Amino acid sequence: MKEIIDIELTTHRIEPSKCKTDMLVVGLFSDTTRLDKLTENLDRKLDGAIERLLKLGDFKAKLGTHAIIYGNEKIAAKRLLLAGLGERKKATLDTVRRAAANAAMTAVEKKAGVISLVLHNAFGQRFELAAMAGAIAEGVYFGSYCYDEFVTESENGRLESIKAEIIDFDSVKIKKLNKGVLSGTIVGKTQSYARTLANRPANVIGPPQLANIARELARRTKGLGCTIFDDKQLAAKGMGGLLAVGSGSQNKPRFIILKYSPANKAATRQPKIALVGKAITFDSGGLSIKPAKTMDHMKFDKTGGIAVLAVMRVVAELQLPLNVLGLIPSAENLPSGTSYRPGDIITTFSGKTVEVLNTDAEGRMILCDALAYAVKQKCDIIIDIATLTGACMVALGRNKAGLFGNDDKLIKQLQRAAEGSGEHVWAMPSGDEYADEMKSKVADLKNIGSKWGGACTAASFLRQFVGQTKWAHLDIAGVDVFEKPNDFAAQGSSGFGVRLLTNYLMSLAGHKS
């Protein structure tokens, strides 16, 4: 797949004022009272321009803002971008990432093709240099991204590529920064890959196309294997939930299985982890059809599955010593003469029967088959990620994903992985009291609960398909998309889950973060 924007990311040992670049990026906290050494040195060469700017109060150094000072003959950079970092005590690794994203976005806008970042400098010893370089790399990818694959008539073109470098004068620091650049590049690049797949509309990506993309990814990635079940195989295996949801569309459902096996034999004794992602390539609601107004958003109903696809790519490229299974049930939910209907009773892969009372509650119908498959494969840990309920968005808004599960340790690990990733989660309940609501008179379960607590009843439905296996569920309905562009990102897919799940798996594999 061609990348939206080509990024070459390196480190460079050089004195910042001597760095020949289109844009030199330095971070500044909003509560700075005295400039640090590096910034003071630049200020002196710029004849006090930074001090004057701050004194006038034109730049408050809030996170997500920046100021540009144009260079002179005493510094080699054409522009100095002062990136706001907000309050010093509130800073996290995500602060570094966001500042890098904002700078990279500005570089693309200004057509500054070479950008040199010394953002880590302002943080001193607060975070590990490798972790900061990783966050900066991810931020550069994140901020420069913009989905314009099908725009053929743009006004004045845009930058096709950028060269970004993280710079420092100290060779010991450069060595540490290098380590972070390596992994940050893999994560950043793959998150952009996820965003592009997610942004593609349903006439471009249906279940069969998504299966081909997974197959292609496995073909070119060491350690990654791919198996696809088509509709005939789904019928033979008894995956009734996935088949029912896909039955209304000509674009037949697929079950995508990606398997990562580490090269290191010792790692085969590691726990087996299943990542399960909902990939509804379009959710019209089916016969229980959705209102027209924002139905176009429902091309994003595949983002859970795409996050899983992307994380599998990251795991393989980082060659983590873990056993990971990526399970992606994919279908298109459309109304037609062959659709599943309200009232239908479906026998799912687990053997449990489900009474369908709303065809728009389709995510749980496909996930239950995939979860039961993970249990059958004897996975030790199952994590699913899905744009499951509008109710989760009502409960938590657009900044936090709902986190559910049956194992406190797993929930804590995911909360920790979310810290600093910039992909936030909030723990929510899914116990027996919600499960009671999902009992049916004519089948084992029904697919909707009462009016209230929809994110929790949906989670409790899923919970009934994992048995005793440790399980967590991320409801990303509110966070998978930016409705409007913001200070760090273009509108469209956010790639949510790629950094969070990568962090989780990296710490399981013993990496420091």
| Residues assigned a catalytic role | 290, 364
User: Which of 363, 402, 495, 497 contacts ligand BES by CB under 6 A?
Assistant: 363
- Rounded to a whole number of angstroms, the minimum distance from the CB of residue 508 to Mn ion is 32
**Sign of torsion, CA 378 239 285 226?**
positive
Count of chain residues binding ligand BES (CB under 6 A): 15
330 belongs to the binding site for ligand BES (CB under 6 A)? no
301 belongs to the binding site for Zn ion (CB under 5 A)? yes
384 belongs to the binding site for Zn ion (CB under 5 A)? no
User: Which of 168, 231, 317, 360 contacts ligand BES by CB under 6 A?
Assistant: 360
x/- track of binding to Zn ion for residues 272-291 (CB under 5 A): --------x--x--------
Residue 13 makes CB contacts below 8 A (sequence gap 6+) with 167, 168, 169, 170, 171, 174
Whose CA is closest to 401, among 459, 465, 461?
A: 459
362 belongs to the binding site for ligand BES (CB under 6 A)? yes
User: Which of 454, 492, 495, 497 contacts ligand BES by CB under 6 A?
Assistant: 454
Phi, psi of 476 (to 5 degrees): -105, 20
363 belongs to the binding site for Zn ion (CB under 5 A)? yes
Whose CA is closest to 368, among 458, 496, 247?
A: 458
283 belongs to the binding site for Mn ion (CB under 5 A)? yes
DSSP bridge pairs for 470: 381
Stretch that binds Mn ion, among 20-28, 49-57, 359-367, 487-495 (CB under 5 A): 359-367
Stretch that binds ligand BES, among 156-164, 189-197, 228-236, 357-365 (CB under 6 A): 357-365
- Rounded to a whole number of angstroms, the minimum distance from the CB of residue 500 to ligand BES is 18
Rounded to 10 deg, the angle between the 303-317 and 498-508 helix axes is 40
Q: How far apart are CA 345 and CA 353, in angstroms?
A: 7
Between 171 and 294, name the residue whose CB sits nearer to ligand BES.
294
Q: How far apart are CA 38 and CA 40, in angstroms?
A: 5
360 belongs to the binding site for Mn ion (CB under 5 A)? yes
E strands in 262-357: 272-277, 279-283, 323-333, 345-347, 353-355
x/- track of binding to ligand BES for residues 251-290 (CB under 6 A): --------------------------------x-------
Amino acid at site 297: H
22 belongs to the binding site for Mn ion (CB under 5 A)? no
304 belongs to the binding site for Zn ion (CB under 5 A)? no
Between 114 and 393, name the residue whose CB sits nearer to ligand BES.
393
369 belongs to the binding site for Mn ion (CB under 5 A)? no
- Rounded to a whole number of angstroms, the minimum distance from the CB of residue 274 to Zn ion is 21
Count of chain residues binding Mn ion (CB under 5 A): 3
User: Which of 358, 440, 469, 486 contacts ligand BES by CB under 6 A?
Assistant: 358
The H or E element containing residue 116 is strand 114-117
188 belongs to the binding site for Zn ion (CB under 5 A)? no
Instruction: Count other Cβ atoms within 10 Å, centred on residue 71.
Output: 20
Length of the chain: 513
Between 168 and 362, name the residue whose CB sits nearer to Mn ion.
362
Query: Alpha carbon of 417 to those of 201, 260, 300, 500, 512: distances in Å?
Result: 31, 21, 24, 6, 11
C-alpha dihedral over 258, 263, 264, 270, to 10 degrees?
Answer: 0
- Rounded to a whole number of angstroms, the minimum distance from the CB of residue 384 to Zn ion is 14
**Cβ atoms of 324 and 505 closer than 8 Å:** yes
- Rounded to a whole number of angstroms, the minimum distance from the CB of residue 73 to ligand BES is 54
Angular region, 247: left φ>0, alpha ψ -120 to 50, beta rest = alpha
Quote the tokens at residue 453. 């607590």
Q: Residue 390 binds what, of Mn ion, ligand BES, Zn ion, none (CB under 5 to 8 Å, by partner type)?
A: ligand BES
Which residues lie near ligand BES (CB under 6 A)? 283, 301, 358, 360-363, 387, 389-391, 393, 448, 454, 477
Which residues lie near Zn ion (CB under 5 A)? 280, 283, 301, 363
